Amino acid sequence: MTTSEVGLGLRRIDNGTESIASMKNLGILLSGRGSNFVAIADSIVANKISDARIAVVISNRADAPGLEIARQRGLSALCIPSKGKAREEHDRAVVSALFENKVDLICLAGYMRLLSPWFVQQFPQKILNIHPSLLPAFPGLEAQQQAFAFGVKVTGCTVHFVDEELDHGAIIVQNTVPVLDSDDERALAARILEQEHVAYTEAIKIVLKGNFEIVGRRMVEL
């Protein structure tokens, strides 16, 4: 497998490298370091996620470390600045780039922007987000701090579909993390992040397989 093939996240099969045309295209949106993006990319290369490639990585911040990581891996990496733009104006530029790259599934990986209802409507049940709590508990910012301050004994992470409301869409995967008496916020956040990397890979596999339906607020695997 060549360096460029590794960057694209192609998987090897018995008679060579699988054709890009047969794969689903993932679009990654991030605003910072993109550790979940790296975990997804590594899972593709390791064939933990099959039949998928990362088509484009997009950030609203030019200084996002995740963009440089994407470029080092040979991936298409775009900055579409959000500063000074109305939310929907920025979203339309991002959606245009996603369409240009023929993205089938969007993965938010630390993307610190609320998507407009218009954006969500362009990709129904095709946008995933990961949140560092067991939703519906502790939505929004600083979820780990909320869990620690509230004194819960168990927390974790949630991968869910994105809808028009914050941290609200149907839940795909949840992984639990015990809160230890010896924990501080930093230690707890680090252990949650480890489970995020596992949960995101599992959720992408479930969604790409497509054997599910949404019943009310529940995702039911068929």
> ∠ at Cα 141 (200, 139), nearest 5°?
70
Q: Are strands 127-131 and 154-161 parallel, antiparallel or unpaired?
A: antiparallel
Catalytic entry in 131, 160, 168, 197: 131
216 — alpha (psi -120 to 50), left (phi > 0) or beta?
left
86 — alpha (psi -120 to 50), left (phi > 0) or beta?
beta
Verify whether residue 197 is a known catalytic residue: no
72 — alpha (psi -120 to 50), left (phi > 0) or beta?
alpha
Structure tokens at 86: 């109305």
C-alpha to C-alpha distance for 32 and 29, rounded to whole angstroms = 10
Strand partners, 207: none
C-alpha to C-alpha distance for 169 and 162, rounded to whole angstroms = 5
Give me the active site residues, please: 131
